[in-house]
Amino acid sequence: MNLSMCLDKSKSRTTSRNSKRVQSAQATFAKMMLAARQQSAAPAPINNDKPACHQCSRLMNDMGSRCPFCEHKFCHECLQPCLSCNGLYCSACSIMDYSTPVERSQCITCMFP
Ligand SMILES: [Zn+2]
Ligand SMILES: [Zn+2]
Ligand SMILES: [Zn+2]
């Protein structure tokens, strides 16, 4: 009689100890997940600070350049220097001249004064 009661007690004690260990493991896992989520969320605000090119939507590493005509921001690849005023204009605000061997672009202001 007494022996069986003693066994029951020890059995219940081990199960409660096991569930405690599982709980702490879950807490550690939750902490790890939280840390991973915080790490992945960290670069997002930096990306938002970077301006995206108005033409190719590529995120620029620097602040990029603003087209003085349409005032949108463009990466350096999407801006062409005007042969007349040397200002950097986007492809929408400058006209490419393919008649010459070297591609020349002229901004709208210089093209239609
Ligand atoms: Zn671009
Ligand atoms: Zn423009
Ligand atoms: Zn110009």
Find the 17 Cα to ligand 1 centroid distance in Å.
61
Find the 22 Cα to ligand 1 centroid distance in Å.
53
Q: Give the CATH number, domain containing residue 70.
A: 3.30.40
User: Which helix (H) or strand (E) is 100 found in, with range?
Assistant: none
- What does the pLDDT look like over 6-37, one tens digit per residue? 556 555 555 555 566 777 778 887 877 777 66
Q: Are residue 41 and residue 67 in the same domain, yes or no?
A: no
Find the 74 Cα to ligand 3 centroid distance in Å.
17
- CA-CA distance, 69 to 22, in Å (whole number)? 64
CB within 8 Å of 60: residues ≥ 6 apart: 50, 51, 52, 53, 73, 75
- What does the pLDDT look like over 73-90, one tens digit per residue? 999 999 999 999 999 999
- The total of structural domains in the chain comes to 2
Which residues are within 5 Å of ligand 1 (an ion), measured at CB? 53, 55-56, 75, 78
| Six-digit token string for 44 | 């997002």
Residue range(s) defining the domain that contains residue 26: 2-48
Residue 26's Cα: distance from chain center in Å? 31
Bigger pLDDT: 49 or 43? 49
Which residues are within 5 Å of ligand 2 (an ion), measured at CB? 67, 69-70, 90, 93
* 3-state helix, strand and coil shares in percent for the chain, rounded to the nearest 5: 50, 20, 35
